[in-house]
């Protein structure tokens, strides 16, 4: 089992550059010592072997050359040969020659021959050389036989200094040691340079990463020169960092753009939600409001914060909240869309809303909420009612016209006969009765005539009409009568108004009806103001008839143009005047509207000082001006 000995903490704290340098130095020293030791030993062995071979070569060479002198017993030549070798090489300590009988024929010793040599290394067939330990040094003793064919002529003995070889070995080892130390030193310097190169690039990588972390995505881990100089994993890593930073930068840029777009769209959506008159809300699966449009909040008179996070029970009466909650659950469960029209009554006001509730789906297709929109369709409802009313009036007019037409003939006969009989009847009492018949017949005839006028689509005369003149004519007509009831008619017209195209008589009937209606609204004393102005952009002429009368109740104001609707006493009005006027104005392409109480802008200047006045009513007639007037 391997026991892991923890590496000292000081090694952990070393810088990477130091670690690399130490590691490489250790490896260099390790390898240097190992290789140096091995090579030194190999070299030593080689030197020794070389020395042995050299000694053997010298000895063998001598043996070859000494054959002839031995045969010739030429001692001088023998001596010369061995002396030449002895003097030529410093490490050759001695040479001597023996014949086959062991007699010494020649030697290089001075002062006698060392007899010990004759007792060692006698057999040349033994391992050569023999290492001799003399008093002064170690000597390799070589023995080579002088042979000629199969004949042994003698032996050559040569002593080679082993000490000289050892000196060479020591010198070589010293050189090897110095060379090893030099290489190791150079290796350490290179290791420092290498570690510095690697760590500097790692430091640059770290700094680049720190810059990226700080948000500076323009930081570069690689330099331009690196790409040409390095092509390794660190370069790949640095380029990967740069690519990552550039990608992140681009990605962040895209996210920022998207965020801006989202913010812009949110602002736009919020603006749309704020300005849209529709009531828009969004509820989650728990039917808690997560969004509420401004119109919705304004209508409830609540801030958005008071709605978001609440349920229907928090913001609606319990009955309405129960209905909404039930509908919401139904939509969440079924996914069906709900569309309905509801009518809400607040104090004296009745408002219609068109409500649509649709499920909101998540990306995985599940329903995550309910979107509700409610649009105020009160105006639409009113117009629909007006349309129904118009249709009803048209039908009624057609019916009344038919009936009046049928009644008119016998009524004319009754009136004719009653007038004839009035002339013929002498009985005073009877005559009074007949006159009553005649008078009532005439009343009936007028009613019938109005009915016919209401119902008949008489052909209109298309001519240029001076509105101011038309109004003044009618005003002059009724001015005297009104004055008797202390009613003042004020004409305020723009004399530069352009002429209209229409039926002057029918328009006069309208002005007359409006003036009569105003006068009826004033019990005793008051002012009727008739104002004629050019409308917006000069495309219309606006005629306003305002009175200081008792005004129209809210409940009646939508019915004033209905046929036969009247608040007057029985016998004082037929309820057809405003209906007829409505028809004539509509026939001329214009509109007629009534406002009560009368807005201040239409009131006379001293309206507030008048007694028994108000709140007043104003009828506003708007007639189109021909384009090419």
- Whichever of 130 and 452 has its CB closer to another protein, that residue is 130
Instruction: Give ∠ CA 436-441-447 in degrees, rounded to 5.
Output: 130
* Coil/strand/helix, residue 361: strand
CB 558 within 8 A of CB 578: no
- Which 522-541 positions form the footprint of another protein (CB under 8 A)? none
CB of 22 to another protein, least distance (A): 12
Closest distance to another protein from the beta carbon of 284 (Å): 60
Residues binding another protein: what is the number (CB under 8 A)? 50
- Shortest Å distance, C-beta 167 to another protein: 16
Label the pairing between strands 526-534 and 487-493: parallel
**Stretch near another protein under the rule CB under 8 A, chosen from 25-33, 259-267, 487-495, 579-587:** 25-33
Tokens of 21: 């340098």
The yes or no reply on residue 109 touching another protein (CB under 8 A) is yes
Q: Which stretch binds another protein (CB under 8 A): 39-47, 219-227, 257-265, 343-351?
A: 39-47
Task: Report the side by side order of strands in the sheet with 367-376.
Answer: 289-292, 279-284, 367-376, 349-361, 338-346
Is residue 135 a contact point for another protein (CB under 8 A)?
A: yes
Of 475, 619, 482, the residue nearest 560 (C-alpha): 619
Q: By CB under 8 A, tell whether 171 contacts another protein.
A: no
Rg (the chain; Cα; Å): 68
* Residue closer to another protein (CB basis): 65 or 559: 65
CA-based nearest residue to 421, from 413, 411, 431? 431
Written in H, E and C, the secondary structure of 6-54 is CCCHHHHHCCHHHHHHHHHHHHHHHHHHHHHHHHHHHHHHHHHHHHHHH
Q: List the strands of the sheet with 591-595, edge to edge.
A: 487-493, 526-534, 540-547, 617-624, 591-595
Out of 18, 19, 24, 48, point to the residue binding another protein (CB under 8 A): 48
Number of neighbours of residue 596 by Cβ within 10 angstroms: 22
Supply the minimum distance, in Å, between the C-beta of residue 24 and another protein: 13
User: Based on CB atoms, which residue is closest to another protein, 117 or 404?
Assistant: 117
C-alpha to C-alpha distance for 54 and 87, rounded to whole angstroms: 16
Indicate which single residue of 15, 16, 34, 286 sits in contact with another protein (rule: CB under 8 A). 34
Show the tokens assigned to 445: 């005839």
Query: Whole-angstrom Cα distance, residue 579 to residue 596?
Result: 18
5 binds another protein (CB under 8 A): yes
Decide: is 107 part of the binding site for another protein (CB under 8 A).
Answer: yes
In the list 9, 76, 112, 364, the residue contacting another protein (rule: CB under 8 A) is 112
Binding segment for another protein among 135-143, 506-514, 582-590, 605-613 (CB under 8 A)?
Answer: 135-143
Stretch that binds another protein, among 111-119, 314-322, 500-508, 594-602 (CB under 8 A): 111-119
| Binding positions for another protein, 54-83, rule CB under 8 A | 67-68, 71-73
- Nearer CB in complex with another protein: 179/380: 179
Rule CB under 8 A: is residue 136 a binding residue for another protein? Answer: yes
Q: How far apart are CA 44 and CA 50, in angstroms?
A: 10
Residues 152, 117, 126: CA angle, nearest 5 degrees: 50
Position 217 contacts another protein (CB under 8 A)? no
Of 393, 386, 516, 519, nearest to 451 (Cα)?
Answer: 393
Examine residue 138 and tell whether it contacts another protein (CB under 8 A).
Answer: yes
Q: Which of 22, 24, 37, 368 binds another protein (CB under 8 A)?
A: 37
Rounded CA gap, 136 and 538, in Å? 145
149 is a contact residue toward another protein (CB under 8 A): yes
Binding string, 114-133, against another protein, x = CB under 8 A? xxxx--xx--------xxxx
Q: Which stretch binds another protein (CB under 8 A): 26-34, 269-277, 368-376, 506-514?
A: 26-34
Q: Which residues contact 612 (CB under 8 A, 6 or more apart)?
A: 523, 524, 525, 526
Least Å from the CB of residue 144 to another protein: 16
Q: Please tell me the distance from the alpha carbon of residue 394 to that of residue 361, in angstroms, as a whole number.
A: 50
Q: Which of 44, 176, 372, 418 binds another protein (CB under 8 A)?
A: 44
Q: Does 347 bind another protein (CB under 8 A)?
A: no
Looking at the Cβ atoms of 14 and 120, the one nearer to another protein is 120
Judged by CB, which is closer to another protein: 132, or 620? 132
Pick from 427, 532, 422: nearest CA to 474: 532
Q: Measured from the CB of residue 33, what is the shortest distance to another protein in angstroms?
A: 8
User: Contact positions toward another protein, by CB under 8 A?
Assistant: 2-5, 7, 26, 30, 33-34, 37-38, 41-42, 44-45, 48, 67-68, 71-73, 94, 101, 103-105, 107, 109, 111-117, 120-121, 130-136, 138-139, 141, 148-149, 151
């Amino acid at each position: 089992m391997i026991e892991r000995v923890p590496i000292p903490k000081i090694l952990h704290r070393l810088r990477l550059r130091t670690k690399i340098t130490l590691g490489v130095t250790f490896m260099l020293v390790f390898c240097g010592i190992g290789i140096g030791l091995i090579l030194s030993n190999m070299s030593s062995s080689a030197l020794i072997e070389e020395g042995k071979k050299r000694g053997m070569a010298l000895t063998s060479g001598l043996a070859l050359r000494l054959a002839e002198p031995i045969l010739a017993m030429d001692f001088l030549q023998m001596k010369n040969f061995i002396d030449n070798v002895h003097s030529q090489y410093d490490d050759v300590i001695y040479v001597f020659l023996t014949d086959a009988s062991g007699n010494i024929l020649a030697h290089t010793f001075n002062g006698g021959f060392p007899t010990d040599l004759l007792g060692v290394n006698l057999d040349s067939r033994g391992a050569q050389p023999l290492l001799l330990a003399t008093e002064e040094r170690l000597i390799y003793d070589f023995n080579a036989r002088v042979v000629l064919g199969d004949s042994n002529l003698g032996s050559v003995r040569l002593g080679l200094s082993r000490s000289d070889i050892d000196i060479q070995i020591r010198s070589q080892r010293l050189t090897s040691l110095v060379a090893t130390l030099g290489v190791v030193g150079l290796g350490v310097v290179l290791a420092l340079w290498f570690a510095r190169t690697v760590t500097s690039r790692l430091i640059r990588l770290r700094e680049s990463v720190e810059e990226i972390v700080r948000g500076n995505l323009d930081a570069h881990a690689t330099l331009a020169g690196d790409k040409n100089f390095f092509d390794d994993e660190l370069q790949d890593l640095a380029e990967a960092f740069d690519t990552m930073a550039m990608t992140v930068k681009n990605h962040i840029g895209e996210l920022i753009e998207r965020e801006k777009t989202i913010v812009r769209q949110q602002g736009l959506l919020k603006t749309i939600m704020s300005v849209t008159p529709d009531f828009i809300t969004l509820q989650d699966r728990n039917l808690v409001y997560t969004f509420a449009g401004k119109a919705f909040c304004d209508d409830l008179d609540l801030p958005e914060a008071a709605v978001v996070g609440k349920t229907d029970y928090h913001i609606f009466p319990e009955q309405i909240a129960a209905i909404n909650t039930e509908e919401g659950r139904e939509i969440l469960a079924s996914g069906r869309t709900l569309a309905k029209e509801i009518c809400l009554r607040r104090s004296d006001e009745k408002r219609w809303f068109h409500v649509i509730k649709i499920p909101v789906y998540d990306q995985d297709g599940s329903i995550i909420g309910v979107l509700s929109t409610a649009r105020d369709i009160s105006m639409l409802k009113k117009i629909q009612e007006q349309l129904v009313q118009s249709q009803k009036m048209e039908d009624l007019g057609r019916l009344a016209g038919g009936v009046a037409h049928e009644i008119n003939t016998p009524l004319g006969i009754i009136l004719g006969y009653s007038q004839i009989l009035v002339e013929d009847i002498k009985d005073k009492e009877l005559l009074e009765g007949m006159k009553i018949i005649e008078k009532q017949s005439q009343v009936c005839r007028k009613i019938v005539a109005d009915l016919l006028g209401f119902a008949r689509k008489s052909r209109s005369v298309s001519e240029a009409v001076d509105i101011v003149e038309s109004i003044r004519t009618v005003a002059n007509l009724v001015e005297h009568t009104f004055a008797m009831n202390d009613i003042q008619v004020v004409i305020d017209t723009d004399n530069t108004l352009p002429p209209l195209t229409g039926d002057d008589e029918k328009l006069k009937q309208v002005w007359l009806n409006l003036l009569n209606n105003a006068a009826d609204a004033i019990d005793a004393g008051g002012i009727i103001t008739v104002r004629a102005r050019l409308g917006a952009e000069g495309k219309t002429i606006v005629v306003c008839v305002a009175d200081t009368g008792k005004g129209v109740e809210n409940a009646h104001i939508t019915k004033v143009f209905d046929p036969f609707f009247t608040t007057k006493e029985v016998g004082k009005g037929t309820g057809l005047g405003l209906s007829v006027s409505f028809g004539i104005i509509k026939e001329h392409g214009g509109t007629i509207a009534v406002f009560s109480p009368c807005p201040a802008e239409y009131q006379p200047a001293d309206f507030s000082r008048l007694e028994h006045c108000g709140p007043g009513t104003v009828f506003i007639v708007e007639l189109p001006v021909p384009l090419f007037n």
